[in-house]
Structure 1
Amino acid sequence: MGMTTPRPLWAMLLLPLVVSGVSTEEPTSGEAVAPSLPGGCLRCCDSGDALAPTDAADAASVSALPYALPEVRPYINITILKGEKGDRGPLGTPGKLGKEGPRGDRGPQGIKGTKGQAGSPGSPCHTRSSAFSVGRKTALHSSEDFQPLLFDTVFVNPDGHFDMAAGHFVTPLRGLYFFSLNVHSWNFKETYMHVVHNEEAAVILYAQPSDRSIMQSQSMMLALAPGDRVWVRLFKRERENAVYSDDVDTYITFSGHLIKPEDD
């Protein structure tokens, strides 16, 4: 009964020849000799199954090898492990506003638009002006405490806003008005006059008694409403109050005009 050499012992006897890379046969003429690989003859393409131990004896033999066999890891197809798409999460907190970017270049000029339709007719034209200028060629002595100054000469009164009979300018429009009063004093007599807005004195024109008569003037601006009245009166006190004029020259004038109308 013969004894057979165990396969693990045979593999260990053959291993030094494989490791050293020495061929056991002489190369024949014309046959290429494969170069020896340092550190072992294991090829990269060798399958791990060819060297896998088949029993306990083989495992013991493999563990005694001077080099490590490559680890064989199972291949797992991860595509089959992909789960279902989950629900959408809650909206996150908005981030901070970024810095303002540089101003871009000016774009090309656009195409000219078509002409629009004509608008509806406007409202009828309203009078937006007012002016007057009147004078007096007759001297006047005050005979009562408040005596209206009447005028007998019209320089400008295009719209009839100055009432010559009452000596009043009646405001046609709301707005700012300018007025001026010019008189000539009488020798040795006092000249004391009011420019009146409705029934209240707005400004005073005054000249003391003197041996020489002089020209005196007063001007003002008033904010008036439609229907307001502006006029002139003499104010009598203890002294005689008078203004001078004659039939040749006009020494007394009263003028006014609208500066800026205002909407009602």
Structure 2
Amino acid sequence: MGTAALGPVWAALLLFLLMCEIPMVELTFDRAVASGCQRCCDSEDPLDPAHVSSASSSGRPHALPEIRPYINITILKVGRKTALHSGEDFQTLLFERVFVNLDGCFDMATGQFAAPLRGIYFFSLNVHSWNYKETYVHIMHNQKEAVILYAQPSERSIMQSQSVMLDLAYGDRVWVRLFKRQRENAIYSNDFDTYITFSGHLIKAEDD
């Protein structure tokens, strides 16, 4: 038999082999689908009852932690319009203006904040320095200096700020104290504007 005569034979053999492979391919895919796999071109029905049941029973093995980016309670915001110069002894900074004083936790007569519950608190102090004088002020935790707000003498006055986070027990006191005349210092304010402010809030209660 010549080479040219083999053409139709090879074509018939190839066609026969292809026809025999088709059921095998389909069977392979059918088994894959039955075992839970799907072909990439198949659409998945998200409302399939079997799928929903399986997902709900498995739960969330890697649940994200809860994040709470908020402040629990605003406690106080007070201001002062009167300048203060250092004296022979330490002076408690008193305030005349109330912006916020939730539950009366800040005593305007003594200038002290009393913690209503144990927790972590944030406090901030803002003052206006006096020309050619030091500014030497402490935020106090009970009778101990927590942080200092300081400005060197200068020919110009500036706004100065300080802040601190404190772990307070119930009834702990936080207040502001001007240093005594051993260091000649002062803070500035006037009757028209509020240059001096003291604020604080609870960040996290112990029970949280």
Q: TM-score range by the shorter chain?
A: 0.5 to 0.7
Shift in Å at residue 159 of structure 1?
A: 1.1
**1:172 alignment partner, one of 107, 116, 123:** 116
1:223 is aligned to 2:167: yes
Contact 1:161 1:172 in 2 (8 A): yes
1:11 maps to: none
1:134 and 2:78 matched = yes
Q: State the percentage of identical aligned residues.
A: 72
Q: Distance between the aligned counterparts of 2:203 and 2:115, measured in 1? A: 12
2:171 corresponds to which letter in structure 1? G
Residue 237 of structure 1 deviates from its aligned partner by 4.5
Deviations 1:202-233 (A, max 9, x none): 00001111111111100010011110000000
Asked if the contact 2:76–2:200 (Cα under 8 Å) also holds between the matched residues in 1, the reply is yes
Q: 1:109 to 1:178 in 2, by over 3 A?
A: same
Q: Answer yes or no: is the 8 Å Cα contact 1:130–1:159 preserved in 2.
A: no
1:219 maps to a residue whose letter is S
CA drift of 1:158 comes to 2.5
Question: Match of 2:158?
Answer: 214
Counterpart residue type for residue 206 of structure 1: Y
Greater strand percent: which structure?
2
Query: Is the deviation greater in 138-147 or in 225-234?
Result: 138-147
Q: Does structure 1 conserve the Cα–Cα contact (< 8 Å) formed by 2:87 and 2:181? A: no
AA aligned to 1:227 is G
Matches within 5 A, 1:37-186: 109=53, 129-186=73-130
Corresponding pairs, count: 145
Query: In the TM superposition, what whole-angstrom CA distance separates every residue of 1:145-194 from its partner, at most 9, and x where no partner exists?
Result: 31100000001112111000000010001111000000001111111011
Runs of 4+ deviating beyond 6 Å: 104-108
Q: What is the CA-CA distance between 1:240 and the residue it aligns to?
A: 1.9
Other structure's SS at 1:248 match: coil
Q: What is the aligned counterpart of 1:240 among 172, 176, 184?
A: 184
Task: Provide closer, same or farther for how the CA distance between residues 228 and 239 of structure 1 changes in structure 2, counting only shifts above 3 A.
Answer: closer
The one-letter amino acid of 1:217's match is S
Structure 2: gaps spanning 5 or more residues:
1-34, 37-49, 55-71
* TM-score (structure 2 length as normaliser): 0.64
Q: Distance in 1 between matches of 2:146 and 2:111?
A: 16
2:29 match: none
Letter in 1 for 2:113: F
Q: 1:129, CA displacement in angstroms?
A: 3.3
Structure 1 position 239, deviation (Å): 3.9
| Residues 145 and 235, structure 1, Cα contact 8 Å, conserved in 2 | yes
Higher relative contact order (CA 8 A, sep 6+): 2
- Say which SS state the counterpart of residue 226 (structure 1) adopts: coil
CA spacing shift, 1:151–1:109, aligned 2, 3 Å: same
Q: Which amino acid aligns with 1:145?
A: D
What is the alpha-carbon distance in structure 1 between the residues aligned to residue 176 and residue 52 of structure 2?
A: 67
Q: Classify 1:239/1:174 alpha carbon distance in 2 versus 1 (closer, same or farther; 3 Å).
A: closer
What CA RMSD, in Å, does the superposition of the two structures yield over aligned residues?
Answer: 2.3
* SS in structure 2 at match of 1:159: helix
| CA-to-aligned-CA distance 1:12-55 (integer Å, 9 cap, x gap) | xxxxxxxxxxxxxxxxxxxxxxxxxxxxxxxxxxxxxxxxxxxx
| Residues 130, 161 of structure 1: 8 Å contact kept | no
Between the aligned partners of 1:203 and 1:239, the Cα distance in structure 2 is: 17
